[in-house]
Amino acid sequence: MIPTFGAALRRAIRSGFALFILLLFLSPVFWMLITAIKPPGEWLNSPPIFWPSHIDLGNFAEALVHWGGFKGLVDSLAVASGATALSLVVGIFAAYSLGRFRTGGENLSFTILSVLFMPPVAVAVPMYLFWRAFGLLDSFSALILQYTVFNVPFICWVLKSFFEDIDPAMEESALVNGATRWQAFLHIALPQARPAIVAVALLSFIFSWNEFFFAVILTRARVTTLPVILPTLMEGHDIRWGSIAAIASIAALPVICLAFALQRYLVRGLSFGALR
Amino acid sequence: MVPALAIFAANAIFPLLYALDVSVRNYQLLIPVPPQFIGLENYARILSDPLFWSSLKVTLWFIAGVVFLQLPASLGLALLFDSLPRWAGIGVTILLVPTIIAPSVVGFQWAQIYNYQFGPLNYLLGLAGLGHPVWTASPTLALPSLVAIDFWEWTPFMVLLLFAGLRSLPADILEAARVDGSSYPKIFLRIMLPLLRPVIGIALVLRVLMSFKTFDIIYILTAGGPGAATENLAYYTYIQGFRYFNLGYASALAIIQLIVVAILAKALIGLTRKPSFAGAA
């Protein structure tokens, strides 16, 4: 079929509209990034300054050194990677067990799924008292374990259906040929599940990196992740908008880069494995 | 492999049982007496607590935003992106940026946008001669302002799910309908929408249940105010538990939320599993 002028025009209009939507949705992000490179005099202006007179990276220096940005970055990285690694270890084994041996049947799977939908505030009080009893408030271990508890059900749910779909015949023939269950899992099931594992690892990392509620409740001064630093800087009169924008950008850019680098895994992760 | 599961089960079930236990005591962290068993008194107090009912109403506002704004908008946007020839996938990923960045970063971005005096939004409104609303500080506009942020943050997430759903529709059926000369609205209503129904269901269930968790943007932008205008259930529970340290009362609030979420989840999941597509259009 030869595209007519009308069809080409319609396509151009659709593309233009989609582009407009993207710009609209990204404008608050752009505004943050622009503020982060504005010199101090241009943070607040009436009328607002849409493009800085010169690019000033002083905000980043100030944010990293004076406002705890560097410590926040290190803490966030430690908590997010620790929680992701631990959740993967626990989650993969549990999911394999659920998917391959149907441990606990459908009921157990559903119970695990329901944990995902629990409002965090519902378990906030018991978890606070729990960590307090162990003297673990304001510690890395508490935050990492807490996020693991939230990541594992998600990982289980996504990977379970994936392991179910993998044909058990290959593992069984390996078992017949003298491999242990462990070897069959490690060399046959695990490599096949890799795309799904990347997806859940990506989402676990993003969740742990972004998490705010438990970080506010369980930590004070020793552990300060980036999301928690932000609101503390927005109090008071002399708000350093540029520096806050710099910290916010430092918090936002890693997950944006990760999401683009691992784009094709994002759908599976975000849809809880319901879509591939 | 089973021990991993056992550890996890203990981790998930312990807090629930403990919350249940605390919720029937007058546990206040600031009063150094051992908490006593008071039966269902916390629950009775909640039912006559006007702040509970107003926070429930705020939560329902966020849910209404999901159902009536985010769902139709995301359906439209998913169709728009699906109709793009080449850069549809990367476009949807770019659109997802608001969803994947930290909600507290989102809160900061919108604190800038909504800034009364220096914000770009009021500047543009001023150019158009539409006045200078105070947005998050206004008793009437604060809640809609937050619902708008929720829209911005989470509509892309629904677009992604629906877009992936559209891309997995059987191409031959759609092509056959086109060859038969069916109009686009007809194809959409009679074929795409019914086939898409499970995905729409998943998106709706996820988002409705997630909207109970809305917390970060409230904490950063309004702290529940002005008054209690933007205090949802999650935020009210936080205030009771971690501002006033009424742990018993907060736990009872939490249990009530759990029950509501569980009932909703059950109902919504049932809705999506309905096998008949007949009435979907």
pLDDT at B7: 58
pLDDT at B279: 35
Check if A226 contacts B (Cβ < 8 Å).
yes
Domain assignment of residue B191, yes or no: yes
Is the CB of B4 less than 8 angstroms away from the CB of A94?
Answer: yes
Q: What whole-number distance in Å separates Cα of residue B138 and Cα of residue B145?
A: 9
Provide the CATH number for the domain around residue B160.
1.10.3720.10
Please report, for chain A, the start and end positions of each structural domain, with discontinuous segments joined by +. 5-59, 63-270
Residue A152 CA from chain centroid, whole number: 14
Q: What whole-number distance in Å separates Cα of residue B93 and Cα of residue B100?
A: 10
What is the Cβ-side half-sphere exposure of residue A135, based on CA atoms within 13 angstroms? 0
Range of the domain at B92: 36-273
Kindly identify which residue of chain B lies nearest to residue A96, measuring between CA atoms: B1
Residue B37 DSSP one-character state = B
User: CB neighbours of B97 closer than 8 A, spacing ≥ 6?
Assistant: A25, A26, A29, A256, A259, B156
Does B68 score more than 90 pLDDT?
yes
* Mean pLDDT over the full length of chain B: 83
pLDDT at B178: 84
On whether ipTM exceeds 0.90, the answer is no
Check if A170 contacts B (Cβ < 8 Å).
no
C-beta separation of B216 from B228 below 8 A: no
Query: Which range, of A103-107, B61-65, B252-256, averages the lowest pLDDT?
Result: A103-107
Residue A92 DSSP one-character state = H
Residue A63 DSSP one-character state = H
β-partners of residue B37 are B25
Residues of B in contact with A45 (CB under 8 A): 118
pLDDT at A110: 65
Between B36 and B260, the higher pLDDT residue:
B260
CATH number of the domain located at residue range(s) A63-270 in this protein: 1.10.3720.10
Angle at B149 between CA B144 and CA B154, to 5 degrees: 125
Q: What whole-number distance in Å separates Cα of residue B206 and Cα of residue B213?
A: 11
The kind and range of the H/E element at B104 are helix B103-113
Q: What is the pTM of this model?
A: 0.86
- Residue B150, min C-alpha distance to chain A (Å): 12
Domain assignment of residue B16, yes or no: no
Query: Which range, of A30-39, A266-275, B72-81, B244-253, averages the lowest pLDDT?
Result: A266-275
* Mean pLDDT over the full length of chain A: 84
C-beta separation of B112 from B119 below 8 A: yes
Does B175 score more than 90 pLDDT?
no
Q: Give the CA distances from residue B229 to residues B62, B225, B250, in Å, rounded to whole numbers and listed in that order.
A: 13, 5, 19
Domain assignment of residue B8, yes or no: no
Domain assignment of residue B22, yes or no: no
C-beta separation of A39 from A53 below 8 A: yes
The count of domains in chain B is 1
| pLDDT tens-digit series, residues B198-216 | 888 888 888 888 888 899 8
The kind and range of the H/E element at A173 are helix A169-176
Q: What whole-number distance in Å separates Cα of residue A209 and Cα of residue A73?
A: 10
Shortest CA distance to A221 belongs to which of A213, A229, A209, A211?
A229
pLDDT at B225: 79
| pLDDT tens-digit series, residues A207-223 | 999 999 999 989 988 88
Q: What whole-number distance in Å separates Cα of residue A119 and Cα of residue B211?
A: 9
β-partners of residue A42 are none
Write down the number of H helices and E strands in chain A: 14, 0
* Residue owning tokens 């926040």: A72
Q: What whole-number distance in Å separates Cα of residue B108 and Cα of residue B44?
A: 38
How many Cβ pairs closer than 8 A exist between chain A and B? 244
Is the CB of B91 less than 8 angstroms away from the CB of A274?
Answer: no
| pLDDT tens-digit series, residues B3-53 | 556 656 656 677 777 777 778 777 777 766 677 788 788 888 888 888 999
| pLDDT tens-digit series, residues A155-214 | 888 888 788 877 788 888 888 888 888 888 888 888 888 888 998 999 999 999 999 999
C-beta separation of A275 from B165 below 8 A: yes
pLDDT at B275: 42
Q: What whole-number distance in Å separates Cα of residue B194 and Cα of residue B281?
A: 6
pLDDT at A174: 86
Q: What whole-number distance in Å separates Cα of residue A266 and Cα of residue A264?
A: 6
Query: Which range, of A127-141, A150-164, B220-234, averages the lowest pLDDT?
Result: A150-164
Quickly state the pLDDT bin for A3 (edges 50, 70, 90).
Answer: low
Residues of B in contact with A141 (CB under 8 A): none
